[in-house]
Amino acid sequence: MVCSLWFAYRDGTLYCATQRGARIVESLEADPRVAFEISPNEPPYYGVRGRGLATISPEGASQALDELIDRYLGEGDAGLASWLRSRVADEVVLRIQPEWLTSWDFRGRMAAPQPD
């Protein structure tokens, strides 16, 4: 399963928030092993890939959701932010503890040539 999620990184842990009834929650309850990739969608390409274990908890879901809304929406979409917060009673936190990481960085070789 591939699932794009908003995330925050703190103290060696990735934090995501999602609805308790989401398919990703069901999948992680059956098997907490995850793989992840964090990278931009546009060149030049660089990022981090890893594997880890996920835990699911309703504790801290409201705070995690607020942090993610601030990070990804800021003041940009108050309607979406309100809608997401209206569903917080069913929100859970996914905590991913990385066990293995690797990175790549193609910025040097993808950089535009500089004029002489």
pLDDT in tens, 50-108: 999 999 999 999 999 999 999 999 877 789 999 999 999 999 999 999 999 999 999 88
Lookup: tokens for 33: 């092993």
Q: How far is residue 52's CA from residue 66's CA, in Å, rounded to a whole number?
A: 24
Residue 51 lies in a domain: no
Residue 78 lies in a domain: yes
Instruction: Domain count for the chain, please give it.
Output: 1
Residue 114 lies in a domain: no
Residue 6 lies in a domain: no
Residue 69 lies in a domain: yes
* Residue 30 pLDDT exceeds 80: yes
Task: Report which of residues 10 and 44 the model is more confident about.
Answer: 10
The pTM of the full predicted model, rounded to 2 decimals, is: 0.84
